[in-house]
Amino acid sequence: MSTAALATETARRRTFAVISHPDAGKSTLTEALALHARVIAEAGAIHGKAGRRATVSDWMEMEKARGISVSSTALQFEYESCVINLVDTPGHSDFSEDTYRVLTAVDAAVMLIDAAKGLEPQTLKLFQVCRHRGIPVITVINKWDRPGRAPLELLDEIVDRIGLTPTPLYLPVGSAGDFRGLLRRGPDGLPAEYIRFTRTAGGATIAPEESLAVADAAEREDEAWTTAAEESELLSATGQDHDQELFLAGHTSPVIYASAMLNFGVRQLLETLTRLAPAPGPRIDVGDRPRPVTDPFSAVVFKVQAGMDSAHRDRLAFMRIVSGEFERGMVVTHAQTGRPFATKYALTVFGRERSTVDTAYPGDVVGLVNATALAPGDTLYVERKVQFPPIPSFAPEHFATIRAASQGKYKQFRRAIDQLDAERVVQVLRNDARGDAAPVLAAVGPMQFEVVTARLHTEFSVETRLEPLAYTIARRTDAGSAGELDRQRGVEVFTRTDGVVLALFSDKWRLQYITKELPHLTLEPLVAAAD
């Protein structure tokens, strides 16, 4: 493919993640976007969580049972002239490490805010990750069909708590709980159009829209329209109109009010993404050099996942293409080992649905089948060597030993633990004293342990016993310090699968005491989940 053709294909891509606090409606929004792109005929979320079918992006039995996403899922579809790569992320803070890995693979983020609750802790943490990585953010204030707070109050909270200037592209007509439609703001911030929605049964199909001129909107909606128009003018007076440069620089955020459950405002979000979100650009390698999108093929693995389909005992490595054209069957080099890697089996994934992909371009997310040699953070390339920075592991705060309930299942148990470790579902720690029969699991949050035991049961038919350990803090150390640390009360030293030596402490006071009494020992903080 010519450089010009490659640049054209790249410019069509929009790769983004949906981030929010749990239960803000991420998976529902994901399905609503797919519905508006006409890649599914009917949304899976109906009449709230009690009567809800599992969404197409939730494939794990645990996700279906709880109505939450605990694993990121990549969906690809076309909308108008663009190719959308949408990565739905876990919302629960216990899985923030998985969300962080996803955010290394996207060019933009949609920050979903509950209209009644406003900014919540997990949303704040994930926004800080976006800010740190320079990822521009589009804000969606969701659930406007339910009682909630005032529109401008929510905007003020965004300014006050995260220092981001919201620039609404659309304002709601009707208060929270009385969602009638959207006022589209023009480039000057003045009302330009009224988009009126009509509800459908359970929000399972696309909500019909009616476009009205400003004069007709004022006559139709009276006070509700007047209020929205006055709010739009007030925002213009305070400089809260969209500026593309400020948005891409991370200083402002376009805002849309919506109801993902009713499919109100979803088309407007899709059009905003295609029009304003950035196309893929150069990525910085470990030598601090940019890799242009028109360079020969390179990609970063950001997630490894098995068990997505009980009929296929395979493991998928999701890679984000950074540069060049990918062709199925091409032999690439695995930067971490220098070994060749064949890409005969390459897929795009839509929930549980798989489709073979023959070609892909920068920004696309492709799943490589049976990629047992790959781990999150690995680099693949052809021709000119490149390696991108690794994805850090978060500091674990919860620890437990795990062992097979039956000795007859020991080999299956070992194989399963190694697989979940490679996927980074959880960190696996070992030392000589405990042996391989009872490795220690280290997690950011306790729900990660539930995922491990559930997958061991469903995918490997291995029942396990989990025993919590009384450690709360981990520090990186080295072989020279390990022996002396192991002799201290309330401390135990382990080696992580990647070779990192970790010292676990019972509490912060024990850590403080040892740091003071033995200052010559190596004890380095790990990346915290809130960083």
Please state, in angstroms and rounded to a whole number, the distance separating the CA atoms of residues 490 and 435. 19
**For tokens 């291995």, what's the residue?**
462
Longest Cα–Cα distance of the chain, Å, equals: 80
Please state, in angstroms and rounded to a whole number, the distance separating the CA atoms of residues 205 and 43. 7
Please state, in angstroms and rounded to a whole number, the distance separating the CA atoms of residues 525 and 531. 12
Please state, in angstroms and rounded to a whole number, the distance separating the CA atoms of residues 222 and 52. 36
Phi, psi of 270 (to 5 degrees): -60, -45
Q: What is the DSSP letter of 201?
A: G
Please state, in angstroms and rounded to a whole number, the distance separating the CA atoms of residues 413 and 456. 8
Helix H or strand E encompassing 181: strand 181-185
* Alpha helices (H) along 61-204: 61-66, 96-103, 121-133, 151-162
Report helix, strand or coil for 492.
strand
Cα distances (Å, whole numbers) of residue 252 to 159, 247, 273, 284, 366: 10, 5, 15, 24, 31
C-alpha torsion angle, residues 129, 317, 379, 14 (rounded to 10):
-50
Helix H or strand E encompassing 403: strand 398-404
Please answer whether residues 211 and 197 qualify as being in contact, where contact means their C-beta atoms are separated by less than 8 angstroms.
no
Is 334 annotated to bind a ligand? Reply is no
Q: Dig out the tokens for 440 from the structure.
A: 């220690």
Please answer whether residues 372 and 379 qualify as being in contact, where contact means their C-beta atoms are separated by less than 8 angstroms.
no
Query: Which class for 516: exposed (0-12), middle (13-18), buried (19 or more C-beta within 10 A)?
Result: exposed
Is 90 annotated to bind a ligand? Reply is yes
Please answer whether residues 164 and 158 qualify as being in contact, where contact means their C-beta atoms are separated by less than 8 angstroms.
yes
* Alpha helices (H) along 386-442: 410-423
Among candidate residues 314, 323, 373, the one with its CA nearest the CA of residue 345: 314
Q: What is the CA radius of gyration of the chain?
A: 24
**For tokens 């694993």, what's the residue?**
71
Q: What is the DSSP letter of 259?
A: B
Please state, in angstroms and rounded to a whole number, the distance separating the CA atoms of residues 35 and 395. 38
Pairing of strands 339-342, 331-334: antiparallel
Is 519 annotated to bind a ligand? Reply is no
Residue ranges at the known binding site: 88-92
Residue ranges at the known binding site for GTP: 88-92
